[in-house]
Amino acid sequence: MADKGKKLRDLIAKGEHFIAGDTFSAITGRIAEHVGFPAAYLGGHACSAFHYAVPDNGVFSQVEQIEQASRIANVIDIPLIADADTLGETVADAYHFTRRYIQQGIAGFHVEDERNPKHSKHVNGLWSIADQQARIDAARRAQRDSGQDFVIIARCDELYTSEMGGGGTGSMDEAIKRGHAYMEAGADVLFYPPRPDDVPALVKALGSKYPISTMGFSAPGTAFNMHTGGWAVAAVNHLKMARELMETGQVTGAFPDFPEKFELIGQPLLDGLIEEWAAKTGRPTRPNHAP
């Protein structure tokens, strides 16, 4: 298996801003690669909602995220970044899950510092700096022990305040302090959700020394943007289609085809193998394949 972590690290090292294309399934991973994105991104909320119909508030597990991330990573050649939430409860969890991500061909992840249960009605706050450094250190140890490269993005939620549904207090000074500490512990990139207007101050304070990523928007001085949200577009369109079918008994433009469909699912290759087998063994073939 190609070292996807090295691919991602080399991409960041080029110093050219890029977008990690939104993906939430194997087919959307193929689409991200097909249209030319140099990397792909799987969000936790995207995965939990689309595949398991549960919120991303701590109930969604790393085992479930790794399961879906592996399906995406193993059908694309570009590196995949995954949302690893808090990497479990302990440093042993952090080590174990990092090892699992690497084994499945994921190139990197972001790990956050909000206490579990995260993004919920519970006012929880953030892990201490020392605790989060220990998680990052455990993840880095897992990477070194694996013998493969792996990019660790430290997500700091200090600017994601309780009023917004996060665990931070909103202190820019604390956010910068945590950024330095997380990089010292072994992180490769810093990520601060959720607002674009916080980014210039972070870039000024940290950007000359450390790569900074964003989510859902691109900003000057940042290394890359991890884009997400496509699952909601898919869900809204399916809801619209389902309502129309229920109300009228039919769907306008139902079962649409598109030129890239067969290429994206690898049908020419697999049909070709079947056709070769049939020809070699004297079996009949036909000019078309089933849709």
Q: Does 37 score more than 90 pLDDT?
A: yes
Does residue 250 form part of some domain? no
97, 158: one domain: yes
193, 271: one domain: no
272, 175: one domain: no
Q: Does 256 score more than 80 pLDDT?
A: no
Rounded (5°) CA angle 240-243-246: 150
Task: Using alpha carbons, select from 251, 223, 225, 3 the residue that is nearest to residue 103.
Answer: 3
pLDDT at 258: 87
Does residue 39 form part of some domain? yes
157, 265: one domain: no
6 or 120, higher pLDDT: 6
Instruction: Provide the residue range defining the domain that includes 64.
Output: 4-233
Residue 222's CB is within 10 A of a number of other CB atoms, namely 20
What is the average per-residue pLDDT within 3-16?
97
99, 17: one domain: yes
CB 79 within 8 A of CB 4: yes
What is the average per-residue pLDDT within 113-135?
90
Q: How many structural domains does the chain have?
A: 2
Residue 201's CB is within 10 A of a number of other CB atoms, namely 15
194, 278: one domain: no
Does residue 244 form part of some domain? no
Fill in the DSSP letter of residue 219.
Answer: -
Burial 105-138 (b: 16+ CB within 10 A, else e): bbbbbbbbbbbbebbbeeebebbebeebbbbbbb
Helices 230-248 and 44-52 sit at what angle, rounded to 10 degrees? 30
**How far apart are alpha carbons 102 and 68 in whole angstroms?**
14
Does residue 15 form part of some domain? yes
The CATH code of the domain that includes 36 is 3.20.20.60
What is the average per-residue pLDDT within 272-289?
91
216, 96: one domain: yes
189, 291: one domain: no
* pLDDT tens string 60-75: 999 999 999 999 999 9
208, 290: one domain: no
* pLDDT tens string 159-170: 999 899 899 999
266 burial level (CB within 10 Å; 0-12, 13-18, 19+): exposed
Does residue 248 form part of some domain? no
219, 95: one domain: yes
86, 178: one domain: yes
Single residue among 183, 199, 233 that ends a domain in this structure? 233
Does residue 21 form part of some domain? yes
What is the average per-residue pLDDT within 73-100?
97
Does residue 247 form part of some domain? no
Does residue 57 form part of some domain? yes
**How far apart are alpha carbons 107 and 99 in whole angstroms?**
12
76, 180: one domain: yes
